[in-house]
């Protein structure tokens, strides 16, 4: 066995080990990819969709507008009541 053959044997062995490690890493990555896809499918099935959020936003906006209008009317009534009381005290 010459030195060239010995080096070829060593390099071939190193390439074999490298290929084994790359194959193992590739399999690990594929398994991770499958788990991520399953998690994504679970989220898509079990959690709120964009359309549901849009409907909630519209409903919330309507309720908030009604609350704002109600508060404005109550503040207006309070202001009118205080103005009448103040006017009654100063007119008397």
Side-chain half-sphere CA neighbours of 3 within 13 A: 0
- Could you read off the pLDDT of 8-36 as tens digits, one per residue? 999 999 999 999 999 999 999 999 999 99
The CA angle 49-51-55, to the nearest 5 degrees, is 120
Domain boundaries, position 30: 1-47
Q: Are residues 37 and 67 in the same domain?
A: no
Nearest-angstrom CA–CA distance, 64 and 71 = 10
- The count of domains in the chain is 2
Q: Are residues 37 and 79 in the same domain?
A: no
Q: Are residues 21 and 42 in the same domain?
A: yes
Q: Are residues 43 and 67 in the same domain?
A: no
- pTM, entire model: 0.46
Nearest-angstrom CA–CA distance, 57 and 70 = 20
Q: Are residues 55 and 42 in the same domain?
A: no
Q: Are residues 43 and 61 in the same domain?
A: no
Nearest-angstrom CA–CA distance, 54 and 59 = 9
Q: Are residues 70 and 83 in the same domain?
A: yes
């Amino acid at each position: 066995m010459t030195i060239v053959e010995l080096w070829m044997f060593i390099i071939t062995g190193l390439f074999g080990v490298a290929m084994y490690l790359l194959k193992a890493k590739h399999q690990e990555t594929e398994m991770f990819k499958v788990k991520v896809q399953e998690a994504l499918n679970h989220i898509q099935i079990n959690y709120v969709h964009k359309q549901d959020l849009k409907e909630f936003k519209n409903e919330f906006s309507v309720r908030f507008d009604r609350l704002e209008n109600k508060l404005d009317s109550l503040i207006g009534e309070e202001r009118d009541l205080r103005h009448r009381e103040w006017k009654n005290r100063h007119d008397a």
